[in-house]
Amino acid sequence: MPFFSDVPLLPDDPILGLPIIFAADPRPNKINLGIGAYKTAEGHSLVLTSVKKAESQILQRHLPKDYLPIEGEGEFIKCGLQLLFGAESALLQSGQIFAAQTVGGSGALRLAGEFLAKLVSKTIFLSQPSWSNHKQIFEKSGLSVGSYPYFDPQGHGLDFAGMCEAIRNMPPSSAILLHGCCHNPTGVDPNFEQWKELSSLIKKQQIVPIFDLAYQGFGQSLDQDAQAIRYFAGEGHEMLVAYSFSKNFGLYGERVGLLAITASQAECMPKLASQIKFLIRCNYSTPPLQGARIISTILKSHELTLEWQRELKNMCERVKEMRKALIAALLVKGQDKNFSYMHQQNGLFSFCGLTPDQVQRLRQEKAIYMPSNGRINIAGLNTQNVEYVAESLLSVM
Ligand code: LMR
C-alpha cells in the first residue's frame, strides 16, 4: 500500500533553500546576499583562528565523548551567561536564572515556544517583519502567532509609536519576541531610550519578553549589543533569551545556542529547570558536545578571548565598511534617491524596500540572490561586487 503518495510537497525554505539554487546557477558573476552568514573580502566562509586554536587544544586533551547532561555543558553555560549578561551581573549571583545549552538559537526559540505554550502564554507577537523562521517555530510550538508594527516602509526606520500602541493592546501573559540587536531582517533597532520605554510598557501590560540575540558583537560592541537585555533583566522582568553563537563565533554548523530564563524568585529555578530539561529530553535528549567545548575553551582563556574579540571586531568592521560602500555607490549612481537611512541599520542586514518582484528580477537578470523579502546580507558584499550590486539594485527599483 503506498503510504506516502499523498504527502504534499512543501516549498523550499526561503533562506536555507537559497544556497542550493545559488549553487546550481552557472553564471560566473553570481552573488549570494542571502543566508545570514559572514563572508570574507574574497567571498569565502571564515573559520576563526581562535576557534582553530581551541579545537587543537581540545584534540590534545583527549577528552571523552560521553553524553552531556540534559541541560548541557556547565562551563559553556557559565561562560555564555557571562557574555550575555556581563561578568559582573548581579543576576548571575542571585540564583534567579536558569540556562540550558541548545541546538543553535533556533533550538532555544523552539524550547522557549514549547515552554510558554505549555505553561504561560497562548499567543506570541512578532515584529512585522521578522526572521522567516520565527512564525513557524512558534506555531509548531503550539502558540498562536500575532504581529506588531515594527518597520516603517515610508521612513525606512522604526515605527515606534505603532509598536507601543500594539503592545498596549496585547493581552496579559502573552509573549513578545524582541530582537536584542541587529534586527533580522531590517537592521533597524530601537535606541536605548526606546528600549527603556518598551521595558516599562511591557511590564505594565504584564507580557513576557523573549529576546532573540543572534548577532551580539555585530552591532556596536559586545556590551552595547546586550544592553537592552541587561536593562530588562535589571528591571526585574521574568523573561527568556534565545542566544545563538553561530555568527559571532562563526560556528554555524556546530549548532550552539543557549536558552536563559530569568525569574523573580530563586525558588522557581528547580521547577523551571525540570520543565526545560523535560522538553529537551523528549526532543533531542542532550545537546551536542563540540561547539560548546570550543566556546568554553575560548572564553575560559584570556588570550583566546582577546583573539576572538579581535576577530569579531574585524568581521564587524568589514561589514560596516561594506555598508558604507554600498550606500556611497547607491548615492552616486541613483542621485535622485536617498539611501542615507541605511547608515542607521545595524548588523549583517539591510532593508531598502525591494519588492518580491524586484528580488526575482535581480536573481534572473543580474544573478544576485537574496530572500524574497528583500533582505540584503551586507557580509556578502566586497570591493569587487559592491558597485555592480548598487547598479543592479537601482536598475530594478
Ligand atoms: C539567516 O537569517 O539567514 C540565518 O539566521 C540563517 C537561518 O537559519 O535562517
pLDDT tens, the chain, 397 aa long? 789 999 999 999 999 999 999 999 999 999 999 999 999 999 999 999 999 999 999 999 999 999 999 999 999 999 999 999 999 998 898 889 999 999 999 999 999 999 999 999 999 999 999 999 999 999 999 999 999 999 999 889 999 999 999 999 999 999 999 999 999 999 999 999 999 999 999 999 999 999 999 999 999 999 999 999 999 999 999 999 999 999 999 999 999 999 999 999 989 999 999 999 999 999 999 999 999 999 999 999 999 999 999 999 999 999 999 999 999 999 888 777 788 899 999 999 999 889 999 999 999 999 999 999 999 999 999 999 999 999 999 999 8
Catalytic residue at 65? no
Atom of ligand 1 nearest to the CA of 104: 8
pLDDT in the model for residue 338: 81
Kindly report whether the peptide bond that precedes residue 185 is cis, defined as omega within 30 degrees of 0.
yes
Name which residue sits closest to atom 8 of ligand 1, judged by CA. 16
Distance 200 CA to ligand 1 centre (A): 30
User: So what's the pLDDT on residue 340?
Assistant: 86
Sign of CA dihedral 177, 178, 180, 186: positive
CB 307 within 8 A of CB 50: yes
Predicted confidence at residue 168, as pLDDT, reads: 98
The pLDDT value given to residue 337:
77
Task: Name beta bridge partners: 369.
Answer: 32
Distance 269 CA to ligand 1 centre (A): 31
What does the block give as the cell for 289?
Answer: 558536545
> What are the grid coordinates assigned to 360, written together?
526575482
318-374 pLDDT, tens per residue? 999 999 999 999 988 877 778 889 999 999 999 988 999 999 999 999 999 999 999
CA-nearest of 297, 289, 210 to 249 is: 297
Instruction: Please report the pLDDT score of residue 358 as a whole number.
Output: 97
Catalytic-labelled residue, pool 53, 131, 159, 189: 131
- Enumerate residues 6+ apart whose C-beta is below 8 A from 275: 115, 118, 119
* Residues 30-85: tens digit of each pLDDT: 999 999 999 999 999 999 999 999 999 999 999 999 999 999 999 999 999 999 99
Beta strands in 135-181 (DSSP E): 144-149, 151-152, 157-158, 175-179
Q: Are 381 and 375 in contact (CB under 8 A)?
A: no
Q: Strands of 123-128's sheet, edge to edge?
A: 97-103, 256-262, 239-244, 208-213, 175-179, 123-128, 144-149
In the annotation, is 39 catalytic? no
Distance of CA 266 from the midpoint of ligand 1 (Å): 34
Give buried/exposed letters for 7-26 (b at 16+ CB in 10 A, else e): eeeeeeeebeebeeebeeee
Q: Answer for the pair 182, 312: CB distance below 8 angstroms, yes or no.
A: no
pLDDT of res. 357: 96
324 is catalytic: no
Pocket around ligand 1 at a 6 A CB cut-off: 15-16, 35-36, 131, 133, 184
Determine which residue's CA is closest to atom 9 belonging to ligand 1.
15
Pairing of strands 123-128, 175-179: parallel
- Cell 515556544 belongs to which residue? 113
* The pLDDT of residue 339: 87
